[in-house]
Amino acid sequence: MGSQIKLNVLGISYSQTQSGAYALVLAEEDGERRIPIIIGGFEAQAIAIQLEGLKPPRPLTHDLFLSFATAFNITITEINIYKLEEGVFYSQLICEDGKNQMTVDARTSDAIALALRFRCSIYTTEEIMAKSGIVIDIEPESKGKQPAGASGFFTDPAPGTRRPGDELHDFSVSELKEMLQDAIKNENYERASDIRDEISRRSKKS
């Protein structure tokens, strides 16, 4: 399988190449290379909610998976992104129930959403990193890594384009906080993320 490289979730950016898609960016822990993985809106939402620390009023699919596994004393100990074929990343969940270890195939977007919930490590091989790893900076305004759970993980699109949430500048912080609670209550998590980002930007300026 080659040497294992530990990865961290750096964030999610709007895809510049595919409309309605997002790029999940994974970063090697001891290096500068990044792996961008194109994922859909639903998968981006599942990862974004966990990164942002948002609490949905009802369990989403990955939250249900965590509850179900916990009820039967099964945990995911690590995620392996083990194959890259024709632009598709293949992943495995390494699971344990206290006695046996099992390997389960999963889509990489699902695997990452679960890794965040089970708080387990994510690994890939040097071969995959050499093939797909690039050196990029998805946070032009900040230096250093953005920790998982920090607000503002959606990076800005190309200059001159308007991104969702731009109209939020017109509201006060107290209004934004009220809107955030409404968005979570209505399970509009993409909107909630935009509002959370705006509140975060305001707090950094103050």
Count CB atoms within 10 A of the CB of residue 46: 24
Which tokens is 91 given? 């992943």
State yes or no: pLDDT of 117 exceeds 90. Answer: yes
**What single-letter DSSP state applies at residue 148?**
T
Q: Find out whether 44 and 25 touch, Cβ atoms under 8 Å.
A: no
The distance from CA 184 to its chain's CA centroid, rounded to whole angstroms, is 18
Query: Across all residues in the chain, what is the average pLDDT?
Result: 81
pTM given for the model: 0.70
What is the DSSP track for 110-137?
Answer: HHHHHHHHHT-EEEEEHHHHHHH-B---
pLDDT of 195 over the 90 cut: no
Residue with tokens 């999610």: 12
pLDDT digits (tens, 9 = 90+) for 140-175: 333 333 333 333 344 444 444 344 455 787 888 888
Residue pair 1/125 in contact by the 8 Å Cβ criterion? yes
Domain ranges of the chain: 4-156, 163-206
Give the CATH number of domain 4-156; options: 3.40.50.970, 3.30.460.10, 3.40.50.700, 3.10.690.10.
3.10.690.10
